[in-house]
Structure 1
Amino acid sequence: MFEAQTTTRVRYSETDQMGYVYYGNYAMYYEIGRVETLRQLGFSYNEMENAGVMMPVLNMNTNYHLPGRYDELLTIKVKIPSFPKARILFQYEIFNEKDQLINSGETTLVFINMKSNRPCRVPNELVEFLEPYFS
């Protein structure tokens, strides 16, 4: 299993009239966590796309525990619990400044060859970065 975390501050534009994080913005927080997790591994999502592989979201599940609020610094914890093949699972926990769990969820992404628009295996470069965490 690989684990990483990053932080982001809730901007005013991400909130509703009550000052709570608008529910649809949690998908964006998941993306921030996902990209930063790969970056912490030493892997570049941008370079993967330049090499012809993209990772669209296949499905997303989310659970709302407490509201996130304007100007809070959120901690996004991300786990890759299993070694990817043609799909990769990311699990998320988002905490507020009081270290309270405000949201949890997961996304499954699929590796797609951009030329054929068909599923493909996990890129070798990502395999090399992940192998030490799953041996």
Structure 2
Amino acid sequence: MVVSTCKIRVRYAETDQMGYCYYGNYSAFLEMGRVEALRDLGIRYRDLEKSGIMLPVSTLEINYRIPLRYDEIITVETTISDFPKGTRIKFYNKIFNEKGDLASTAKVVLVFASVKTGKPVSVPTEISTILKPHF
């Protein structure tokens, strides 16, 4: 299992008139968490794309519990608890507010796909090799 955390400040532009973080911005926070989790493992999106692999989102499920607010420093916890199989990799997330309260949970599934064709491809060997020791 892989667990990674990153901290993000909620910017004014990400909030609504009530000072709450607009719900559509949560997906960007989840993406930042995924990018940092992979980076912690030595996997960079830029390198994947150069090698002909992209990772489009196929499933996004978010459960909102309490609002995030302007200027809070939030923690995005990203977990890969399942070894990727076939063409997919699953990320599980928790977002905590500045006080450490659980604000939301999420599951995001990405598909390994060819940059040239856009069609799904098997999990790249280099990704499997990097992830295997964690499972």
Bin the TM-score by the shorter chain: over 0.9
Unaligned 5+ segments in structure 1 are none
Match of 1:75 in 2: 75
Determine the structure 1 residue equivalent to 2:15: 15
Residue 132 of structure 1 corresponds to which residue in structure 2? 133
Corresponding residue number in structure 2 for 1:115 = 116
Equivalences, count: 134
Q: How far apart are 1:116 and its partner, in Å? A: 2.3
TM-score of the pair, normalised by structure 2: 0.97
Q: Once the two structures are aligned, what percentage of the paired residues are identical? A: 48
Q: Is 107-116 or 24-33 further displaced after alignment?
A: 107-116
Letter in 1 for 2:70: Y
- After the TM superposition, which residues 1-135 of structure 1 pair with which residues of structure 2 at under 5 Å, given as runs? 1-85=1-85, 86-134=87-135
Q: CA–CA distance in 1 between the matches of 2:70 and 2:13?
A: 9
How large is the RMSD of aligned CA atoms in angstroms? 0.7
Partners of 1:103 and 1:117 lie apart in 2 by: 31
Structure 1 Cα separation of the partners of residues 20 and 46 of structure 2: 32
CA distance in 2, matches of 1:3, 1:115: 31
**Alpha-carbon offset, residue 125 of structure 1:** 1.7
TM-score, length basis structure 1: 0.97
Show CA shifts across 1:6-61 (max 9, x none): 01000000000000000000000000000000001111111001110000000100
Structure 2: 5+ residue runs without aligned partners?
A: none
